[in-house]
Structure 1
Amino acid sequence: MSIWGRVFAAGYDRIMEGAEKSVLRAHRQALVGRASGRVLEIGGGTGANLPFYGDDVAELVITEPEEPMARRLEDKLAASARTAEVVRAPAEDLPFVDASFDVVVSTLVLCTVGDPAKSLTEIRRLLKPDGRLLFLEHVRSDDPGLARWQDRLHGIQVRIGHGCHCNRDTLASIESAGFTVSELRHDQLLKAPPIVRPLVIGIAQAKA
């Protein structure tokens, strides 16, 4: 793990505090609160979703490949009333059997995975036939002018954001991976630089 990775993890909650209070917390509550059954959260980070899982969740498994993030996640989990298993694994290689989860949760994760297509293929593999993907992601802007700035500043954002790609068309990737998006909402990530403001929030099911 790089020094910047450790620094990034240590400061992540503080960096995101404004955006969480203004926008993300309400979206997390509305989206994550709909999870039920056996649930897998990929890229759990420092555990921002933990307060919003409801009583309908029978079992919660959270993956996080970054060790500094995983340690903070475990600390937050230990201080909460939520029971969950933390597994250190990347989204592209998830160590679970096929069709073993009712719900997969992805919040601000698909911007940072090394291979979005492979990650989404793994998610689809793990979902039961009637399973759902709950997603909250910042994406490439529909505005051509802002999208050009996302492309121009992409290299800087990847370095500063510890692998965060600001110009990914994540919604298209979800659909290309064989999912049908049944619910979708667009919003803006306030208290954040313009290149990472466009948000999509939704629910998708794997196509039969």
Structure 2
Amino acid sequence: MPTLRRHPVFARLYSRLSPEMDRQGVGEHRQRLLAGLSGRVVEVGAGNGLNFVRYPPTVSTVLALEPEPHLRRLAGEGAAQAPVAVEVVDAPGENIPAADGSVDAVVASLVLCSVRDQDAVLAEMWRVLRPGGQLRFYEHVAAPDGGRLRTVQRVVDATVWPHLVGGCHTGRDTEAAISAAGFVIDEVDRFHFPPGQASPAAPHVLGKAHRPAS
């Protein structure tokens, strides 16, 4: 979910649509994203908190960042229903309120498309992760170069899309940015969602990366 300071129209629209999106398949992707996590977790851009109920009991604590006020309020309500301890805080991904090397995993779920400075957010994720810690990511990303969809992404990103969809950019090569930040990608699944649709935001990746121990 996008890291927004204030975007009341989009925040309310997203909070209304996201439960239906989960029923259409996003919930299954969230489940895969979080499976097997343990220890201390930071979730960047928690949105309205739909990930919270899917954290496994092996997770000890979740520090959930959400700077958008409406979504943060909903996330706070969702935290009360979570099977693990979740603290929701007002903070952007560019400034994670955690000590260096203090968490076991960082979760990025449909957020790296919309942060203002993707490299800065990834650097913060690297900073707070312990060596060997995991980055779990589920994002929509750039279509392959040379295709019509990639051209469409460039056009919409330069015009209306970010203004209408909370700062979201459809054409970011997030997988490459994760590698450039120093993470080692261990697993990645590339797919279109919803299947068979040619939306600019259809290409997705879901995967695991880690901060090397040295």
Equivalent residue in structure 2 for 1:198, among 203, 208, 213: 203
User: What is the distance in 2 between the residues matched to 1:63 and 1:180?
Assistant: 24
User: What is the distance in 2 between the residues matched to 1:64 and 1:137?
Assistant: 17
The Cα RMSD (Å) is 1.7
Aligned-pair identity in percent equals 35
User: What is the distance in 1 between the residues matched to 2:107 and 2:68?
Assistant: 18
TM normalised by structure 2 equals 0.90
1:81 Cα deviation from its structure 2 partner: 4.3
User: What is the distance in 2 between the residues matched to 1:47 and 1:121?
Assistant: 24
Question: In 2 relative to 1, CA 19–57 (structure 1 residues): closer, same or farther, beyond 3 Å?
Answer: same
1:68 Cα deviation from its structure 2 partner: 1.5
Compare 155-164 and 190-199 and name the one that shifted more: 190-199
1:187 Cα deviation from its structure 2 partner: 1.3
User: What is the distance in 2 between the residues matched to 1:81 and 1:17?
Assistant: 19
Deviations along 1:69-109, whole A, 9 cap, x unmatched? Answer: 11111122234444211111110111211000000000001
1:181 Cα deviation from its structure 2 partner: 0.4
Q: Count residues with an aligned counterpart.
A: 206
Quick one: which amino acid aligns to residue 115 of structure 2? Answer: V
Deviations along 1:41-91, whole A, 9 cap, x unmatched? Answer: 010000110111011001111011111111111122234444211111110
Question: In 2 relative to 1, CA 182–80 (structure 1 residues): closer, same or farther, beyond 3 Å?
Answer: closer
Bigger helix fraction: 1
Give the equivalent residue in structure 1 for 2:12: 10
TM normalised by structure 1 equals 0.93
Quick one: which amino acid aligns to residue 87 of structure 1? Answer: V
Matches within 5 A, 1:1-208: 5-142=7-144, 144-154=147-157, 155-190=159-194, 194-207=199-212, 208=214
